[in-house]
Structure 1
Amino acid sequence: MTAELTARSTVPTSDPTTATTAEPTRVASSRHYLMCRPTHFDVTYAINPWMHPDVPVDHDLVMTQWENLRRTYTALGHRVEVIEGAPGLPDMVFAANGATVVDDVALAVRFHYPQRAGEARHYADWLRRSGYRVVEAMAVNEGEGDFLAIGDRVLAATGFRSDPASHAELAAALGREVVSLELVDPRFYHIDTALTVLDDATIAYFPAAFSPASRARLAALYPGAIEVDEADACVLGLNAVSDGRHVVVAAQATRFAAQLHAAGFTPVPVDLSELLKGGGGIKCCTLELRHAPTATSPGA
């Protein structure tokens, strides 16, 4: 698997879009993820523009693609936990929507649509059993779908799913600065479909998914951001997962992969095209479990 991963991670340096000089050295860090096995995944209703219940889902292919994503993470040295899905909750595979976890504190979720409401309890129960302090949500929020931690702050979206009041709840629960942003394109109904955190200081995003005021705020905070074009955004290329160096990205987002390579990151293409039928991708399937810093002695 490791050899295969290395081969698939290479973007040809002869591509002019990858030309670069003196790019910073990117450093990977080991991550801890929670994923949900897609045993019950299907498209039986439509709550986003990607979902069409009349288009059949290849369930064997879904399982194969999901398992390849899980193996990709473990091949990169990351720890992956798996929660089992529940009958009647076909979108539970999108684990990123299950909570927001920072420093072993988890803000639970409250879904916008009743079709997904039952997922919240399963994720909150799993997190409690696993030793996390779970803070119940009062306002609607959809976890890491709309909350993306970067450094000491969290980028938080509203516009389609999460209520603006959830941003204050998040700040209180996690003790971090929360930057509120507004999404305006229904195809990008969660922030994790329109923006990727690449490391503690770097993002990639599709500007047109955000309101003018939010675009200006992102430009001020992250002047070196990678701006991704509509074609790659529309294959959910920005629904990616980075460990600071390796970026697990939709295989179809080829120009974005070249941009990542040019910026010193290592793109790792993975095909989740069958799960795109539900409006989700790589990040949607991946909830990061961020742990509190470990105390060390002065001489350590």
Structure 2
Amino acid sequence: MNPKENPVDRTLAMYQWNRLKLAIECAGGYVHVMEPHGGDHLPDMVFAADGAFIRGKKAYLGNSIFNERKDERNFYQAWLQKHGYETFGSLDFSFEGEGDARWVGQNQSKLVCGVGNRTDARVLDDLKQKLKSDDQDDFKVIPLKVVDPKFFGLDTCFCPLDDELALWYPDALDQDSQKRLKQEMELVPISESEALKLACDAVVIGKTVILNKGAAETEKTLKRLGYTPEFVDLSEFVKSGGSAKCLTLTLSL
């Protein structure tokens, strides 16, 4: 975010990206790589979570509030359509894809969506309509207002560990949102200092949680909950405000 005073080391960034890919594969995940040919003008496209939100073989495309990221949508749409996804998405409202939206509950029965910073709450009705297969295929939408500008996306303050359990930094959300979320699932809080290390911005595969190095308190919490933390140094991506989850988009294959 400050390339003149704090530039990214591209060689190190590529090494760290490959280390993340390897960690996901070692945990039992499978990684598809989208090669952004022709996208050299879109450095933030590496944060794949923002590109879309997936349910089955339907993909609701992201729509960034930032002009510098607008064209990313075309690359994600082309890749997803090539791999058999039906794509949707409104250009009338901003939407940060999986960066602001996460599935919880059994069989994706609940959609938790952060609104207020980078996602417009008005997108939620269209999102629900487009991702439903039929009238019987319903799910609950739970909007959460993100109020702390340091935590611009939901993935920086909320990390589902399974259908009914999540890590969170509650003060990133307003009081009504905190109460609403507490009614839906079990929540384990982390401190602001851990959240600022992007401890919630993690990839969860089974009982393995892959996250940026340095979150020692969260490591203890995860182990207490029966999870195995796997640390990867993602310092070059943290410079732009993103970590492990930001760098990945969950697919349905």
TM-score, with structure 1 as normaliser: 0.78
Show structure 1 runs of 4+ deviating over 3 A.
none
Q: RMSD between aligned alpha carbons?
A: 1.1
Q: Do the aligned partners of 1:73 and 1:79 also contact (CA within 8 Å) in 2? A: yes
Amino acid at match of 2:10: H
- Written as runs of structure 1 = structure 2, the 5 A alignment for 1:275-286 is 275-286=237-248
Aligned to 1:19: none
Aligned to 1:154: 111
Deviations 1:181-225 (A, max 9, x none): 000111111100110011111111001100011111112222x31
Q: Do the aligned partners of 1:102 and 1:174 also contact (CA within 8 Å) in 2? A: yes
Amino acid at match of 1:284: C
Aligned to 2:135: none
Q: 2:32 aligns with which of 70, 75, 81?
A: 81
Bigger mean CA offset, 195-204 vs 213-222: 213-222
Aligned to 1:198: 161
CA distance in 2, matches of 1:243, 1:64: 21
CA distance in 1, matches of 2:55, 2:173: 25
Q: 1:226 aligns with which of 176, 188, 203?
A: 188
Amino acid at match of 1:271: D
Aligned to 2:8: 57
Amino acid at match of 2:54: V
CA distance in 1, matches of 2:127, 2:214: 33
1:188 aligns with 2:151: yes
Q: 1:177 aligns with which of 140, 161, 164?
A: 140
CA distance in 1, matches of 2:170, 2:128: 25
Aligned to 2:49: 96
CA distance in 2, matches of 1:169, 1:253: 37
Q: Secondary structure at the match of 2:32?
A: strand
Q: Do the aligned partners of 1:199 and 1:243 also contact (CA within 8 Å) in 2? A: no
Structure 1 residue runs without a partner (length 5+): 1-50, 292-300
Deviations 1:253-286 (A, max 9, x none): 1111110110111111111111011111000001
Query: Larger RCO: Structure 1 or Structure 2 (Cα < 8 Å, ≥ 6 residues apart)?
Result: 1
Aligned length: 240
Q: Do the aligned partners of 2:209 and 2:228 also contact (CA within 8 Å) in 1? A: yes
Q: Do the aligned partners of 1:249 and 1:257 also contact (CA within 8 Å) in 2? A: no
Identity %: 35
TM-score, with structure 2 as normaliser: 0.92
CA distance in 1, matches of 2:190, 2:201: 12
Bigger mean CA offset, 117-126 vs 168-177: 168-177
Q: Do the aligned partners of 2:27 and 2:205 also contact (CA within 8 Å) in 1? A: no
